[in-house]
Amino acid sequence: MGILSATAVVPDIRVESRPANPQKGPDSTDRQRVEPKLGNDWQALDADSRAFLADALSADEDPAPDGLIKLLQAAVSADASDLHLSSGVAPHIRVRGELRPLAGTAAISAGEMESILRAHLSPRQQETLSSRGDLDTAISFGGDGPDQLRFRASVFHQSGSLAAAIRLVPSDIPELDDLGLPQVVNRFAELTSGLVLVTGPTGCGKSTTLASMIEQINVSTAAHIVTIEDPIEYRYQCKRSVVQQREVGTDTDSYLSALRAALRQDPDVILIGELRDLDTIRVALTAAETGHVVFATLHSSNATSAITRVIDVFPGDQQNQIRSQLALSIEGSLSQRLLPSNSGRQVPATEVMVASSAVRNLIRSDKIHQLPSVLETGGAEGMHTFDQSLAALVRRRQVDPSVARASAANVANFDRLIQQ
């Protein structure tokens, strides 16, 4: 999806950190700047104190431009979805899926990279980054109003220096109907219990899809919604629902501890930013079984692999029990990818699994390899495979056949589908 339309050309972006002011004694300029604010107290200060106050006021009057913010502004103006920073090379941006250098920029040194990235991290975050080697965080600027820009950042060490991948989070949460997703996804937002998985590779729009479903619940239902995210991306305004957002590393230590706590907070809906480990998945299944709606993301390529991944996290002697739990609690799975369209934007190709009795039986009986056949023939219930979605995009002339064919799971099957 495009992020923002270009509104300005940002030439010759230079990243620089503000150097410390050299030590100096008081002069007439210092006196003119400071004495009006202190009056006779100026005379009582020693030379070092006068110089210190003069430097502090000078910094307030002439703030140095923030190197990272300048780069983010340039990326937004270029209609980029992502900004990639690595020492020794120029910044790169991703525009409609294509990675390219950010115009007007030069290579950033390792020292400059440390300066511009650490300036946006709290002491606790810097400690985490140093000890763990990577950190997920959020960056925002532009105030708290409609002009605020928010970004999701992954900061990490590589080859002995810092690097970052930063994604713009649109300020407005799009409506589900505007995302180009199948109508069955709206039904997931109407559930009163059960587990819904949204899966796909990094950068495919999972967070936006989940945010749109949560917002649909927020505007239509009186519910208590608890989100657990790392970091918080979209900000919700309470409408018919009460929405409480917890950020891992700031409001809670981990997904697991926040999820366990959420079960004692009278939730109707729980959003889990990512199912990362065995214990979090186990508690999520329990929550879905006990009358809560649980939305979660997972990194997997399709609906079948999402189910397999959830089960394979557990030791072999526990997998039969987990299959039974999952068969009971799963309500649906949406897998998505973003493809370049003929209009120059990006459109989603999707695979949808709805928990019909046939799907539940296959999961329970460990016949997950048969799920693709059920998806392909389950159109009446809203199901379809990626290849069916790709063929539909081609027939609607939204995507070039060569682009869709390159993404097909089964090329021969895809060729057959576009001929129908």
Domain that holds residue 43: 28-61
pTM, to two decimals: 0.78
Instruction: Tell me if 341 is assigned to some domain.
Output: yes
Residue 141 lies in a domain: yes
Whether residue 8 is contained in a domain is answered as no
Domain end: 169, 192, 218, which one?
A: 169
Asked if 321 and 344 sit in the same domain, the reply is yes
Cis peptide before 231 (omega within 30 of 0): yes
Q: Tell me how long the chain is.
A: 420
> Same domain, yes or no, for 245 and 349?
yes
In a shared domain, residues 146 and 276: no
Could you say which of 138, 169, 200 is where a domain stops?
A: 169
In 3D, which of 323, 328, 324 has the Cα closest to residue 294?
Answer: 328
Q: Has residue 123 been placed in a domain?
A: yes
182 and 90 co-located in one domain: no
- Judgement on whether residues 291 and 320 belong to the same structural domain of the protein: yes
pLDDT tens, position by position, for the chain (420 residues)? 333 333 333 434 444 433 334 444 444 444 554 455 455 555 666 666 655 555 554 444 333 347 899 999 999 999 999 999 999 999 999 998 899 999 999 999 999 999 999 999 999 899 999 999 999 998 888 766 667 888 999 999 999 999 999 999 888 899 999 999 999 999 999 999 999 999 998 889 999 999 999 999 999 999 999 999 998 989 999 999 999 999 998 899 999 999 999 999 999 999 999 999 999 999 999 999 999 999 999 989 998 899 999 999 999 999 999 999 999 999 999 999 999 999 988 999 999 999 999 999 999 999 999 999 999 999 999 999 999 999 999 999 999 999 999 999 999 999 999 988
Tell me: do 99 and 197 sit in the same domain.
no
Q: Are residues 215 and 341 in the same domain?
A: yes
Rounded distance between C-alpha atoms, residue 392 and residue 410, angstroms: 15
How does strand 149-158 pair with strand 242-247? unpaired
Establish if 189 belongs to a structural domain. yes
Q: How many domains does the chain have?
A: 3
Query: CA distances (Å), 106 to each of 87, 142, 160, 184, 376, in order?
Result: 10, 25, 20, 47, 50
* Per-position b or e across 324-349, b if 16+ CB within 10 A of its CB: ebbbbbbbbbbbbbbbebeeeebbbb
CATH of the domain at 361: 3.40.50.300
The answer to whether residues 281 and 149 belong to one domain is no
Radius of gyration of the chain (CA): 26
Do 228 and 142 lie in one domain? The reply is no
Residues 232, 162: one domain?
no
Specify whether 80 is located in the same domain as 212. no
Question: Would residue 199 count as lying in a domain?
Answer: yes
